[in-house]
Amino acid sequence: MNDDTTISRLAPKPFSSSFQTDSCLYISGQGGLDPLTGDVVGSDIESQTVSTMEHIRRILIEAGLSLKDVVKVNVYLTDRSLYNEFNEVYARFFEAPYPARTTIYCDLNYDLLVEIDAIAVDALKKNTRS
């Protein structure tokens, strides 16, 4: 690691909630968990998606970035039937041009219905290496 590396303090060990090097910020999978209690926030896709996106927003802010800097998102849903409602909530957080996105259906830990990881690019650091 070099001086350009930042590891977010917002995650329990043994992993970081994010890792930044050069111009890229890699955000680990985030879910709708209360940061103080670790409990799942809500039992519906709307409340869990809002909570998850707010976690991502906080990580971005800690790195000096915003949701506008996100270029790639991976979404993990537990059920295909959640897709449309998830998209309605997700659309509240992003505007065109939207980040590239992949949606995967899988089992998740706890009672999570959604988990999201993301990559953001810091335009101010982009191509600054000599």
Break the chain into its structural domains and give their ranges.
Answer: 6-121
Residue 11 confidence (pLDDT): 55
Q: Are 25 and 18 in contact (CB under 8 A)?
A: yes
What are the tens digits of pLDDT across the range 14-30?
A: 778 899 988 999 999 99
Average pLDDT score, the chain: 89
- CA torsion angle 52 57 58 63 (round to 10): 130
Helix (H), strand (E) counts: the chain: 2, 6
Query: CATH number of the domain at 6-121, out of 3.30.70.1450, 3.40.50.300, 3.40.930.10, 3.30.1330.40?
Result: 3.30.1330.40
Residue 81: which residues within 8 A CB-CB, separation 6 or more? none
> End-to-end distance of the chain based on CA atoms, in angstroms?
17
Quickly state the pLDDT bin for 124 (edges 50, 70, 90): confident
